[in-house]
Amino acid sequence: MFSNYFISRYIHRNCQILIVGGGSGGCSMASKFAKNGQNVIVLEPNEMHYYQPLFTLIGGGMKTLSQARRPTKTVLPKSTTWIKDKVNAFNPEGNSVTTTNGDTINYDYMLVAIGLHLDYDKITGLKEALDDQYSSVCTNYSSDFVEKTYKVMQNFKGGNAIFTLPNSPVKCPGAPQKIVYIFEDFLRKKGLRDKANIMYNTSTPAIFGVKKYANRLEQLCRRRNITVNLRQNLININSSKNETTFELLDEPNKTITMEFSMLHVTPPMSPPEVLKKSKLSNSIGFLDVDQFTLCHKEYKNIFGIGDCTSCPTSKTVAAVAAQSNVIFHNIINSINGKPLLKKYDGYTSCPLVTGYNKCILAEFDYQLNPLETFPFDQGNELKSMFRLKKDILPIIYWNVMLKGYWNGPESIRKILHLGTQ
């Protein structure tokens, strides 16, 4: 009797499309499918939805955290079913998932949109330093800590200011250096620039992956006396001594220790454990999709969007927007027994904020070729691109993209370039 009661309390649900994750990709796709009449379930545990591209500006004191968040229930279409839970296991052979509450959701198609996990524990002392409100260690990569960055900036009196990019894939890989340029501009405005030794310590072999923008950023760093240390990976923080240790990636077993007065850390990141342990992941834990159709390589009724996928492009909201149109048409085609005709070209964008009123708008594709929207050189620092980043893109996000109407700037680019791109 007890056993039967125990089993019956679990809920079994069915849907045409299950979306696992309610971030940028999950919410945008829920809106697209809901408008098209599909029966959609969204599995998302968080009560609050964040527009993370604003975090850099929050860290620089230009926006507030309240401007970057809205309740999840307000950004999901009312016709979808929101289950406030998270996936516990994928069962692709059975076309189902189980949740942490023990419920089962059966689907015809599944879209995986669960983003990346912040691996604080991969840097010794990082979490403790971030939790300590009096430490000079901060990060823009979490809603829990992003407001601390501006406080650390305001308390800075001089010394080494170090900014890091880890030896792992990260969401918005341009963001770790945006705060460098904002901080440098902040110091100039306060008359403290000559008191600071600013360093950008990155694990990568170049300051940026696209040569055009890398050249401009290198020039910017030389002009503004910012030291760029390549192939250095943060491994340890001693916040009580204000010391940090980096491994030198091109010199095995060699490390270097530095003192700091400010340390902005980009945590290592990886796909959530539930994906890494599943049959859906590739050898390094990412959802194993075809980079063009965004369909899983083995399970043809499973698709992926955003940061958790194996697509070899920078992980940004702009990439999600471009992917969303491809996924929508390919899933609808698959439902109707048609081939997957839409192809994702790897488009992504990184608005590289270089201070309190300028921005380099980097846009590029899988081949790392610039794919710029506007008919002028976006490699220049422009006030117009800063306004786009600060004021216009948030409006597009909340009012257009999350409602399922924004597929990225491809159509605008074709018009402005007279169809040549």
The pLDDT score that the predictor gives to residue 10 is: 76
- Alpha-carbon distance of 84 to 45, in angstroms, equals 4
What CA–CA distances, in Å, run from 44 to 26, 81, 112? 9, 11, 11
CATH architecture of 2-116+272-341: 3-Layer(bba) Sandwich (3.50)
Q: What is the 3-state secondary structure (H, E, C) of 374-420?
A: CCCCCCCCEHHHHHHHHHHHHHHHHHHHCCCCCCCCHHHHHHHCCCC
Distance, first Cα to last Cα, the chain: 68
Domains 2-116+272-341 and 118-270 share a fold: yes
Is residue 221 flagged as an active site residue? no
What CA–CA distances, in Å, run from 405 to 6, 24, 30, 84, 254? 44, 13, 11, 25, 50
According to DSSP, the β-strands at 48-50 and 69-71 are: antiparallel
Q: Which of 350, 338, 321, 335 is nearest to 214 (CA)?
A: 350
According to DSSP, the β-strands at 12-20 and 40-43 are: parallel
The pLDDT score that the predictor gives to residue 419 is: 65
The pLDDT score that the predictor gives to residue 418 is: 74
Q: Which residue has the tokens 């696992």?
A: 20
The catalytic residue among 27, 295, 308, 350 is: 350
Residue 125: its H or E element? none
Q: Domains of the chain: which residue ranges?
A: 2-116+272-341, 118-270
- Alpha-carbon distance of 229 to 152, in angstroms, equals 22
- Alpha-carbon distance of 308 to 187, in angstroms, equals 36
- Lookup: tokens for 331: 């899933």
The catalytic residue among 138, 172, 221, 295 is: 172
- Alpha-carbon distance of 263 to 286, in angstroms, equals 29
The pLDDT score that the predictor gives to residue 124 is: 98
Q: Which letter, b or e, does each residue of 123-157 get, where b requires 16 or more Cβ atoms within 10 Å of its Cβ?
A: bebbbebbeeeebbbbbbbbeebbbbbbebbeebe
User: What is the CATH number that goes with domain 118-270?
Assistant: 3.50.50.60
The pLDDT score that the predictor gives to residue 7 is: 42
**3-state class of 298 per DSSP?**
coil
The model scores a pTM over 0.75: yes
User: How would you write the pLDDT of the chain (421 residues) with one tens digit per residue?
Assistant: 333 334 446 788 999 999 999 999 999 999 999 999 999 999 999 999 999 999 999 999 999 999 999 999 999 999 999 999 999 999 999 999 999 999 999 999 999 999 999 999 999 999 999 999 999 999 999 999 999 999 999 999 999 999 999 999 999 999 999 999 999 999 999 999 999 999 999 999 999 999 999 999 999 999 999 999 999 999 999 999 999 999 999 999 999 999 999 999 999 999 999 999 999 999 999 999 999 999 999 999 999 999 999 999 999 999 999 999 999 999 999 999 999 999 999 999 999 999 999 999 999 999 999 999 999 999 999 999 999 999 999 999 999 999 999 999 999 999 998 766 6
The pLDDT score that the predictor gives to residue 9 is: 62
Is residue 350 flagged as an active site residue? yes
